[in-house]
Structure 1
Amino acid sequence: MGSLPASSTQVGYAVRALDLQAHLFEVTLTIDQPAANQVVSLPVWIPGSYLLREFAKHLQCLQARQGHKPVTITQRDKCSWQIHAKAGKALVLTYQVYAFDSSVRTAWLDSQRGFFNGTSLCLRVHGQEDTPHRLTLIDEGLPKEWQAATALRAQRVSKRGFGDYLAANYDELVDSPVELGQFWRGEFVAAGIKHHFIVSGAPASFDGARLLADTQAICEAEIRFWHGRQAQQAPQRHYLFMLNAMHDGYGGLEHCNSTALICKRADLPRHGQAKVGAPSDGYTTLLGLISHEYFHTWNVKRLRPAEFSRYDYAQENYTELLWFFEGFTSYFDDLLLRRATLIDNAHYLKLLARTINQVLQTPGRQVQSVAQSSRDAWVKYYRQDENTVNATVSYYTKGSLVALCLDLSLRHSGKTSLDAVMRALWLRCQGGPMTQDDLLAVLADLSGKSYANELQQWVHGTADLPLKKLLKQHGIRVEETPAPLADQLGLKLNEQQGIRVKNVLRGSAAELAGFAAGDEWLGVATGEGKTSQRWRLNKLDDLATYLGSDTRCRALVARDQRLLTLSLNWMDTVRPVILAVSDTQALNAWLDGKSSA
C-alpha cells in the first residue's frame, strides 16, 4: 500500500518523553471527527503474547478538551473511558504512561533507551479503528544523539527518525513497535527485500557484520521456503529487526513487518571469534530466536487462526491452534538454521534432542494435550507455578515434535513433505485465516491419505509421539543415556544459595518421599544406630560423595522453619535421549529438504 497523505488521517498520536527519570511518556491523541460521547480504550493484551496484561494500569492523568473547553470523562471499566464530547468537533486527549518494563511486550523509558508497543500507549478510538492513523514521534527533551526507528511508513521524518509516520488502521499502528535511543544500525537485502537491523546495548566487541550476514542467510532461506524462486510474492516489502542486548534476558515478539528481540549481551557475536565451525550455544540461541520470529512473518501474522481474523483487544482471543502456529514455527526455526548452513547436522540433532528431552521430562504431557495447552495459554502457559510441569505441556515444544512427526511421516510416504504442506496452506488460505480442517484437507490432498487419526492422537491426545520409529526411518537412532541425579530424583532445583526445590515431578521418588516446592534441602543421614552419619549438603553433587552407590537416604529438609526428615529411595529410571546418525544419506535428504522417497 502506498503512502497515505497526512491530511487523510482522522486519528493522530503525538508521543514524547515527558520525564526520563520518572519513566513517563506523554501522549496527545487528536480525533478529528469524534462521535458524540466518544469511547476510547487501551488493549488488555498484545497479539503474540497470550495473557491479559492490563496495560491501562500504567495510564494516568487522562484529560480531554474540545477547543479550549475541558470535556468530562467517565471511566466505563478497567480499560475504557467515555468522553462526553460533541460529535464532529476536533477532540484532544492527553495522558501519561508509565514505562518501566524491559520486555518486548510493553514499554520502557529511561536515560539510556526508550521503547514502546502501541498497545501500551495508543488508546483505541472506537468506531474509527479502520481509518488511517498517524504517529508523531517528538524529540523534544531527548539527548541529541538519540534516534527513532519503527517499521511504520515515514511521512515527514528527520534524519534521526523523528517526525510523522502513517498506519492504514489501528491494527497496523499497534503492530509496529518503536525503538528510541542511541543504537547500532545496519541493513541488508534478502531476495530483493530491504531489511534493517538495529541493536541497543551492544558493547564495543559486537560484530555487527557477522550478525547481518547470518541474519541475511536466515531471511533468504525462509523466503525460499515459502516462495521458492518467486520471492516477489513475499508479503513484506521491508522489514526491521529491533534487538535489545541486556546483561540477562531473552525473548521475541513477532509483527508483520518487524520484530522486537531481547538477548544476553554475551550472546552477541564478537570481533575475533572464529567464524568457521559451530557457533557458540548463546549465539545459536540468538540465531534461533531470529529465525523463529522471522518465520512468524508468514505463520501467525498472516496465515493465522480463524479466531484471529479480527483481534479483540478487550478480552482473551481463544484458539486451539497455537501448537501449529508456535509449535510448527519452533520446528522450522532450527531446521532452517541448518538449511542456511549456520549449523551442521550434529548441532541440529543436539538441539532436537534437547527439545525431545524437555517434553519427555514433562509429566504434564500425559495430562494435557497440545490443543488444550493452546486454549489454556491465557491462564496456564503465561502463569507458571510449581505445578505447571506436572499439569501442562508446552505447545511450543510438543507442537514442534508434532511437526517433526508429520514431516517425517510425509517424507517416508515418498509423496510430499511438511514444507510443501505449509506452502499449500499459504496458497489455500491466501495468506489469511485458517482452521485445522484446512490443514487436514491439504495433508490429504498432497499425501493421498487422511491424517485425521494422527492429529487426533498427537494433537488432541496425551499419548507419547512415535519419535523413535519415525527418526529411525530417516537415519537417526534414539539412544538412552544416564540421567543427571536431579532428574533421577524428579526434582528441579535452585542451587545458587544452598539447595532450594523449585519443582517436584509427578510420580517421582522425590514426590513419594514427601518433598515439596520451596523446601530447602539441608543434608542427609545415612546408616542406622552407631553407623548413622549426618552430612550437610551444599550442592546436589555432594550426595554422591556421602552415599557412594547407595540410592537410599534420609533427607533433612527445612520447610516453614520446621526441620523434617524424609525417607528417599530412587532408581535411575529416567533416561534422557541422544540422537545418533545411522544413515547419513537419509538424514541429509530430510535436513536439506529433499525428497526421501
Structure 2
Amino acid sequence: MATRKSSPPARAALRYQVLPVPRTHRFQVTLTIPRPAAGQRLSLPVWIPGSYLVREFAGQLMRIEASQAGQPVALEQTGKNSWEAAARPGRALEVRYEIHAHDSSVRTAWLDEGRGFFNGTSVCLRVHGQEEAAHELAVQAPAGCAGWQLATALRPLRAGRGGFGRYQAASYDELVDNPVELGPFWSGSFDACGVPHRFVVTGAPPSFDGERLLADAKKICETAIRFWHGARGKPPQDRYVFLLNAVHDGYGGLEHRHSTALQCARKDLPRLGETGRAGEGYTGLLGLISHEYFHTWNVKRLRPAEFARYDYERENYTRLLWFFEGFTSYYDDLLLRRAGLIDDATYLKLLAKSINQVQQAPGRLVQSVAQASFDAWIKYYRPDANTPNATISYYSKGALVALCLDLTLRLEGRGTLDDAMRALWRRCGDGPMAEADLLAVLQAQAGRAFTREIDAWVHGTGELPLKALLRAQGVRVQEDTAPLAQQLGLRVQEDAGIVVRMVLAGGAADAAGLSPGDEWLGIELPPAEKGAAGGAADSPPGGWRLLKLDELPLYAGQARQLTAVVARDRRLLRLPLELPQGATAWRLLPPAEAAGADRPRAAARSWPAH
C-alpha cells in the first residue's frame, strides 16, 4: 500500500501594517516576513500595470530599516529600488519604512488631512521568492481624523464598520491590484446581474446626485456584463468597487480586476434636480466609468501574452495596446449608447471627436498603431512638443480600427465585432492572447482571412476607410470648416497672450517657421491689405496685437499673406505666414438627419444601438 505524501505546511502570510500620518503626507509601513530567506531581497515596483511608464516609486521611500527579534539587521541597497537584508532564516524579519504620498493621480499615493489613497505598487515592498505566498494588509485609522472610512476590493479578514482593519490577498499580484481609499467619502451600492458593486466618491460637492450616479453606473455594468456573457451568463468578478476622487480639475482612471480608481472634475458630477440627458461633462465621466469597467475583461483577464506575468522591475513591452486600450475605447461610448444613456446623435458626436483627433495628428502617417503600442513607455506617456508629429494614440486610432472591423463585418453580413470579442473570451478566457488569436476568431467568423486589413490598419500608416464604411451605415460624413488652430496646424496656450505649444508638421505654421515656445505677439499686413482690413487712415503703422488666436480673422480681414510677429528667446522675429484655406473637421449625422446618405444595408442597420 503506497503511503500518501503529506502536504508541506502552509507558509505564514506576509504582513503589511500601514499607519497613515496625514500631516506629514506619509504612510508608515511595517512589513513582517515570518520566514525570510538568507540575504532576503526586497524591491518596490518601478511601474503600475495599466500605466505604461517607469515612474520610480522608490523615489518616495524613506527611512528604511530592518530587525530580527528586536536586533538591527544590515540592509544594503542593491539598486535604485531594491535592498538585501542580512537576515537569518528561522526568525521573522521586520522591515520598517515610510512612503511620502503627495501625488493625487490614480497611479500612486496621496495623503493629507482630507483624504488618503494608495496603490500597493507605491507602498508595498515585494518580497522576492515569496510572491505567491498569502499577503495581509492591515491599515490603521489615522489619529485625529474623525469620520474617516476605508474602501478597497480586497477581502477583509477582520475590519470594523468604517473599513479599517485587516485584509487578505492570495499573492503579491493580487495585493497590489487593489487600491485603497481613505477619508470621509460618500458611498453607495447596487447589484449588477447579481454581482454586488460599491461606488465611493471623495470630494463631492453638496449638489452631488449620488442616486443618479448609482442608477447610471448600474446600467453601464449590466450592459457590459451582458455584452460578454449574455442575459444569463456569469461574470468572472464576484464583487467590484469604484473609487472616484472628485477634484477641481482632473480626469483619468486606472483599471484593476475587482475595482477601478477614477478621477473627475467636481463640475462633471450629476447634480440634484437635473433631469434628462447627461451634459457633456457627465457624459465624459460615464464614458470613463464604462471604459475602466470594460477593462475588467479586456486587459485584466483577457490580456497580452507579454503580461502573463508582470515584471515589476522594468518595462513590459507589447504591440497590442491598440487592441486592449483601443478596442476598450471603441466600446466605452458604444455601451453608453446601448445602455440608453446617450442617443445616436450624441454617440456620433463623440465618434467624430475621436476621428478628428486622429486626422489632426501628422504622426498617424509616421508610426503604426502597433509600434505606438510598443513605444508607449517612451512616447505616449512622455509627450513633448513633437509628439503629434512622431506618434499616434493607440487609444484613438485603436478605437477606429475596432470601428472599421465592426462595420466591415456588418457590411459583409458576417456578424459583428461583438461576436468576435466573445469568441476571443471563449478561446482565451482569463488568460493571455496574441494577435494570432484575434485573426483566428475573425477568420472563423467571417469565413475569410483579415490579415490584409490588420496589416494595413494596424501595422501600416495609411488612412482608414472610415468614410465608405460609415456611409454604408447610412451615416453622413459632413466636413465643416475646422477650428482656426487646426487650420493653422497649431496648438497654443492662451493666458494674456498666445504661446505656441505645438506645431503640426505640414501645416501653415510649420511652413512659416513658428516653433514651440514662441509667443505670438501680433500680425503685420501688406500695405495693399491695410485698407481692406479697416481703412488705410485707421491702420496702425506696425500691425495688430493679438491676445487670443480667434482675433486673427478680425485683424487679418481678407488678407491671405501676412507677417506673424513672434518673440523667441527675447528676440523679435517676423515670419511670413500664408493663411490656409479648406481645412476641415468631420461631423457625423445619424441616418434620420442624413437625407442624402446612402441607404444602409439591412444587416447593418442596427449599429450603433445593437
How would you bin the TM-score normalised by the shorter chain?
over 0.9
Structure 1 stretch 21-30 or stretch 209-218: which is displaced more?
A: 21-30
Percent identity between the two aligned chains:
59
Q: Return the letter of the residue paired with 1:130.
A: E
Alignment partner of 2:564 out of 538, 555, 562: 555
Equivalent of 1:221 in 223, 230, 235 = 223
Contact preservation (8 Å) 2:240, 2:258: yes
TM alignment of 1:15-94, pairs within 5 A = 15-17=18-20, 19-94=21-96
1:89-168 correspondence to structure 2 within 5 Å: 89-168=91-170
Question: For the Cα contact (< 8 Å) 2:348–2:590, is it kept in 1?
Answer: no
Structure 1 residue 541, shift from structure 2 partner: 1.8
Q: Work out the CA distance in 2 between the residues paired with 1:269 and 1:215.
A: 12
Q: Report how far residue 431 of structure 1 moved.
A: 2.3
Structure-2 residue corresponding to 1:249? 250
> How far does residue 550 in structure 1 lie from its aligned partner after superposition?
1.7
Q: Which residue of 1 aligns with 2:3?
A: none
**Structure 1 pair 411/588, CA: closer, same or farther in 2 (3 Å)?**
closer
Counterpart Cα distance in 1 of 2:429 and 2:179: 26
Q: Please give the TM-score of this superposition, normalised by the length of structure 1.
A: 0.96
Q: Partner of 2:192 in structure 1?
A: 190
Letter of the structure 1 residue corresponding to residue 547 of structure 2? N
Deviations along 1:27-79, one digit per CA (max 9) or x if unpaired, are 00000110000000000000000000000000010010000110001111001
CA distance in 1, matches of 2:163, 2:82: 31
Aligned position for 1:582 = 591
- In the other structure, the counterpart of 1:546 is 555
SS in 1 for 2:325: helix
Whether the 8 Å CA contact 1:118–1:173 is kept in 2: the answer is yes
CA distance in 1 between partners of 2:11 and 2:219 (Å): 39
Give, in angstroms, the shift of residue 588 of structure 1.
5.1
Whole-Å Cα distance in 2 between the matches of residues 544 and 416 of structure 1?
49
Aligned equivalents of 1:441, 1:149: Cα separation in 2: 41
Q: 1:100 to 1:370 in 2, by over 3 A?
A: same
Distance apart, 1:528 and its partner CA: 2.8
For normalisation by structure 2, the TM-score amounts to 0.94
Residue identity opposite 1:49 in structure 2: S
**Amino acid paired to 2:174:** E
1:453 to 1:384, Cα distance in 2 relative to 1, 3 A: same
Distance 2:23 2:502 in 1: 39
* Separation of aligned partners in 2, 1:484 and 1:552: 19
| TM-aligned CA deviation for residue 187 of structure 1 | 0.1
Report the CA distance between 1:479 and its aligned residue. Answer: 1.5
Match of 1:497 in 2: 496
- CA deviation vs aligned residue, 1:491-530 (integer Å, no higher than 9, x gap): 1111122001011010111111110001001011112389
Q: State the secondary structure of the residue aligned to 1:159.
A: coil
Give 1:551 shift. 1.8
Q: Give the corresponding residue for 1:237.
A: 238
User: What is the distance in 2 between the residues matched to 1:48 and 1:588?
Assistant: 35
Structure 1's consecutive aligned runs of 4 or more residues displaced over 6 angstroms after TM superposition are: none
User: Which one-letter code corresponds to 2:16 in the other structure?
Assistant: Y
In the TM superposition, residue 89 of structure 1 has moved relative to its aligned partner by 1.1
5+ residue gaps, structure 1, are 1-6
1:299 partner SS? coil
The answer to whether structure 1 residue 365 and structure 2 residue 382 are counterparts is no
Q: Map 1:327-406 onto structure 2 (within 5 A).
A: 327-406=326-405
| Deviation (angstroms), 1:109 | 0.2
CA distance in 2, matches of 1:506, 1:140: 53
Tell me the secondary structure at the aligned position of residue 64 of structure 1.
strand
Alpha carbons 1:259, 1:294 under 8 Å: kept: yes
Query: Which secondary structure state, in structure 1, belongs to the residue aligned with residue 158 of structure 2?
Result: strand
Contact 1:527 1:533 in 2 (8 A): no
Taking a change above 3 Å as real, the CA distance of residues 88 and 497 of structure 1, as seen in their structure-2 partners, is farther
1:10 is matched with 13
Aligned to 1:265: 266
Q: Is the 8 A contact 1:482 1:572 kept in 2?
A: no
Structure 2: gaps spanning 5 or more residues: 1-9, 531-535, 594-598
**Aligned partners of 2:344 and 2:590 also within 8 Å:** no
Correspondence for 2:575 among 557, 566, 572: 566
**2:606 aligned counterpart, secondary structure:** helix
Equivalent position SS for 1:231: coil
